[in-house]
Amino acid sequence: MKRNSDKPIRITEVCLRDGSHSVAHQFTEEQVRSVVRALDDAGVHYIEVSHGDGLGGSTLQYGRSLVDEMKLIEAAVSECTTSKIAVLQLPGIGTVHELKQAHALGAKLVRVATHVTEADVSAQHINMARELGMETLGFLMMTHTATPEKLLEQAKLMESYGAEAVYVTDSAGALLPDDVRERVRLLRQELSCEIGFHAHNNLSLAVANTLAAIEEGATRIDGSVRCLGAGAGNTQTEVLIAVLARLGVDTGVDLYKMMDLAEDVVGPILPRSQEIRKGSLVMGYAGVYSSFLLHAERAAARFGLDARDILVELGRRKAIGGQEDMIIDVAADIAKQRKQEVVQ
């Protein structure tokens, strides 16, 4: 495999953060401990632990966590011998208060996430994380909604604030391999920091897109064991490790141990198989934020609608992460419109 970087690939496992969406944020402490123990034993570099919508996300709008995330972070840290615990923070949802608290509990890395056109709101959080001595990365979401040039502009802002890497984040699973190549290649050419890539599998392209990103120079790569993540899940970590090994790329992660933990530890946690069903497929097709699926399904049941119609309309309105409150409004609008059509 030809890579446009000589830096090692570092894997961040996101099943305990992105996967929180799939379990409606109901992870137990023992589930987190067992998964972290197994991932640490397999040699995974970073393990992200927080509410699906990042630090401070346990709210009525985004979904209440069963267990306070700080307790889960503390438990995860206590189970690590070599892996580092990471957290996600979305300015406007989480504050520097939660960031300081997570750091005090032992979190070593933070990804500060914003919509792809709103990097300017990340400055305070990136600066604070650097002051705390944390590894600090920028995470630009919904990158399919912006041109590569706009993405570069925003990535430069995050780099200027102190981000040590900037992620191209395919939040909707809507990017195609050529889209990924174009974006990662441009950032690799123009930035001094590392480039990361986070995929969703709504169009069954997560592994292919991740390989394209790695070939173009991305070195910070996300995966989720058994695809445990929002929508159809993320790049399946154990599959990616196997493919990279076939391509001659040594990640330092034990493949057999990843296979075993996927089957024996994460498998029993899955509420359902992470397959590409109609809801997740339409999110990739319409370009909708992957965490919207469960909210759209609940709204569809409430108003007697097809969740796909809600998701397509959200895509048309260009809804972004953090606008979950729009889902009920959109469903109500569709239901009202259809009632009027029947009357007419």
Contact between 23 and 237 under an 8 Å Cβ cutoff? The reply is: no
Q: Is 25 a catalytic residue?
A: no
The verdict on whether residue 83 carries a ligand-binding annotation is: no
The Cα angle at residue 158 between residues 138 and 123, in degrees rounded to 5: 95
The verdict on whether residue 17 carries a ligand-binding annotation is: yes
Contact between 250 and 224 under an 8 Å Cβ cutoff? The reply is: no
Tokens standing for residue 85: 């615990």
> What is d(CA 35, CA 40) in angstroms, rounded to the nearest whole number?
9
> What is d(CA 139, CA 222) in angstroms, rounded to the nearest whole number?
11
The verdict on whether residue 46 carries a ligand-binding annotation is: no
The verdict on whether residue 144 carries a ligand-binding annotation is: no
Contact between 11 and 221 under an 8 Å Cβ cutoff? The reply is: yes
- State whether residue 319 is helix, strand or coil: coil
Task: Classify burial at 130, counting beta carbons within 10 Å of its beta carbon; exposed 0-12, middle 13-18, buried 19 or more.
Answer: middle
The verdict on whether residue 308 carries a ligand-binding annotation is: no
> What is d(CA 38, CA 41) in angstroms, rounded to the nearest whole number?
5
The verdict on whether residue 224 carries a ligand-binding annotation is: no
User: Which of 21, 115, 144, 295 is labelled catalytic?
Assistant: 21
Task: Classify burial at 153, counting beta carbons within 10 Å of its beta carbon; exposed 0-12, middle 13-18, buried 19 or more.
Answer: middle
Name the residue type at position 338.
Answer: R
The Cα angle at residue 191 between residues 186 and 194, in degrees rounded to 5: 100
The binding site for Mn(2+) comprises 18, 198, 200
The binding site for substrate comprises 17-18, 171, 198, 289
Which residues are annotated as catalytic?
21
The binding site comprises 17-18, 171, 198, 200, 289
